[in-house]
Homo-oligomer: A and B are copies of this chain.
Amino acid sequence: MSTAARSEFELIARLTADLPTREEVVVGIGDDCAVLDQGGPRLLLLTCDSQVEGVHFTFQTSSAEEIGRKALAINLSDIAAMGGEPRYALISLHIPRRCPPEVLDRLYAGLRQEAAAAQTLIIGGNVSGTGAAETLAIDITLLGEVERGHVLTRSGARTGDILFVTGYPGDSAAGLYSLLHPDYPYPPEACERLRAVHRVPKPRLAEGRLLSELGPEIVTALIDVSDGLSGDLSHICERSGVGACIDVARLPLSPELRSLATLLGRDPLAWVLHGGEDYELLFTVAPGQEQTVQERFAAAGLAPLTPIGQVTDAAGGLRLRWPDGREEPLAVQSWDHFTSPR
């Protein structure tokens, strides 16, 4: 259910305003997954997300197998963002006439590979033509489960909580930049890993499960970074009714991203703060529990983890704190499928 920037969210909000609901819908539209209580010990998680040729991927920058893997990975990431375990996938393909069967075979091989790695079963789907349109689209619905009392949402962050992020946000955007500017003489070591991260992000499933195990008393809010750090942090803030301040000095920059930015004379922070499609986890931790979380991550050999700031009152809005102590508002800049150029 993750999408991109303002106008998309405004559209969703308008279309889905005041939809009827029932008691068993624990979480409806507006989080990474919907959550249903069917009465058993585990709650059901549901999410759907699409990848459209020319919008989310191109065959120029990714192989068919990578496209299939990523289409499932971004949905797995939505399950991770609720602390859940993925279980079942339904795959809907919109296939243009000119698409060679071998491309579909390789795309499906990618889907199978990613599903197997996440112990997720493909149990249904659909194929459709696209008429006059020449764009391939992959629409996936994913079901997962999470233990009752252990679902983590975007809405529990409280003033004073510590803000954490896994891995190295910005790597995917830097990788995409290098893919879209292939003629620039990059040293391969600067780009290979960044490009791989962009092509097939790794859903942080084990990390999400550990956070869910710690529970909402310790991990107060959780989201995956699909729209960019600033955009997804703004989602947590909006849903939780809080503000947040990111400590620029603490932002984790991967060596590859640093060196690519230096080479290009670009500001690496633009990628780190606003680059989308990282699929890292961004979450808030109750004060005093930081060490517990960090120790548990380290003990389990999970993704690198960095405290990058703090949750503040809503009045503070979204802010950046520079190393000299100066603070300034942080404007959200997210990718928008409707208005952003590729």
A interface list, Cβ under 8 A from B: 1, 3, 8, 11-12, 14-16, 19-22, 25, 28-29, 33-34, 36, 38-40, 46-50, 52-56, 88, 90, 92, 94-95, 97, 101, 104-105, 108, 112, 116, 121-135, 137, 139, 141, 143, 337-338, 342
Extra pairs beyond A1-B126, A133-B135 (16, CB < 8 Å): A1-B125, A11-B127, A19-B121, A20-B116, A22-B121, A48-B124, A48-B139, A50-B92, A52-B128, A52-B131, A55-B129, A94-B94, A95-B338, A97-B338, A133-B133, A139-B139
Given contacts A15-B104, A90-B141, A105-B14, whether A48 and B125 have CB atoms under 8 Å apart is yes
Tell me how far the C-beta of A224 lies from the nearest C-beta in chain B, rounded to whole angstroms: 14
Tell me how far the C-beta of A266 lies from the nearest C-beta in chain B, rounded to whole angstroms: 26
Contact partner of A101 among B11, B20, B104, B129, CB < 8 A? B11
Residue of B nearest to A45 (CB): B124
CB neighbours (8 Å) of A8 from chain B are 127
Tell me how far the C-beta of A135 lies from the nearest C-beta in chain B, rounded to whole angstroms: 4
Tell me how far the C-beta of A136 lies from the nearest C-beta in chain B, rounded to whole angstroms: 10
CB neighbours (8 Å) of A46 from chain B are 88, 90, 123-124, 141, 143
CB neighbours (8 Å) of A33 from chain B are 124
Alpha-carbon distance between A49 and B128 when the two chains are bound, in angstroms? 9
CB neighbours (8 Å) of A19 from chain B are 112, 121-122
Alpha-carbon distance between A132 and B137 when the two chains are bound, in angstroms? 12
Pairs across A and B, CB under 8 Å, 24 listed = A3-B127, A3-B128, A11-B127, A21-B121, A29-B123, A29-B124, A29-B125, A38-B40, A40-B40, A46-B90, A46-B124, A46-B143, A47-B90, A47-B124, A48-B126, A54-B133, A56-B128, A92-B139, A95-B338, A127-B337, A128-B337, A130-B133, A133-B134, A137-B137
The answer to whether A122 and B16 touch across the interface, beta carbons within 8 angstroms, is: yes
Given contacts A92-B48, A112-B19, whether A55 and B130 have CB atoms under 8 Å apart is yes
Residue of B nearest to A123 (CB): B34
Alpha-carbon distance between A29 and B111 when the two chains are bound, in angstroms? 15
CB neighbours (8 Å) of A20 from chain B are 116, 121
Alpha-carbon distance between A33 and B125 when the two chains are bound, in angstroms? 9
CB neighbours (8 Å) of A108 from chain B are 15-16
Given contacts A34-B124, A46-B123, A124-B29, whether A104 and B11 have CB atoms under 8 Å apart is yes
